Amino acid sequence: MIVVHFRISIVLLGFLLAFAGCSSRNTTQSGKQPEKQAAAKTSAVNSSSDCVRGEPEALLGSHSVFKQAGPHEALETVDTGSPIQLVIHHFGCTHYALDFEFTFPGERMPDPHVSIKDAAALLEKLPFKEGNKQAMKGIVAAMRRMAEDPYKQPLTMSETETLAATTPALNVLRIRYDVAL
């Protein structure tokens, strides 16, 4: 398993907040009495306000399917237009995190130098929402630096942001972007 820590500059923190898509989602359930609907709304608002960053939103403007997976958690399945599959897992509250999980075709992915570089190139081509583009450029640049020496640990950039690469399976590369808010 490869574990590489790489800290991204604090400048990206400002972009991350736009990128995190802070929002309050109040979903009510049909069929409930008005009092119960109001209680459900209050509960949804309170749970979102308890989280520093709010509920996750899609990173991409198109070419993805975004689904809430639970409180403060979502999955974004991306149509990459390539044989490499990508699922983005959004999660966290006081630690905001994104797992970019790249599944390479075949039983094994290429050497980490190549697979991280390929993953960065794939991310660079995706249609990210305008508010997310700058942060994603920073993540792509950090991934390219990581690809040069994927075994060097840790590569410190700031006190709050990290980028780590792991291989949970022989053909899967997981890049985790984590920010302590």
The gap from C-alpha 164 to its chain's centroid, in whole angstroms, comes to 12
pLDDT in tens, 83-114: 999 999 999 988 889 999 999 999 999 999 99
pTM over 0.85? The answer is: no
pLDDT recorded at residue 158 = 73
pLDDT recorded at residue 65 = 97
134 Cβ contact partners less than 8 Å away, ≥ 6 residues apart:
12, 15
pLDDT recorded at residue 22 = 40
pLDDT recorded at residue 77 = 98
Using an 8 Å Cβ cutoff, are 64 and 58 in contact?
A: yes
SS3 58: coil
Q: Which residues of the chain have pLDDT under 50?
A: 1-47
Q: What are phi and psi of 96, to 5 degrees?
A: -85, 130
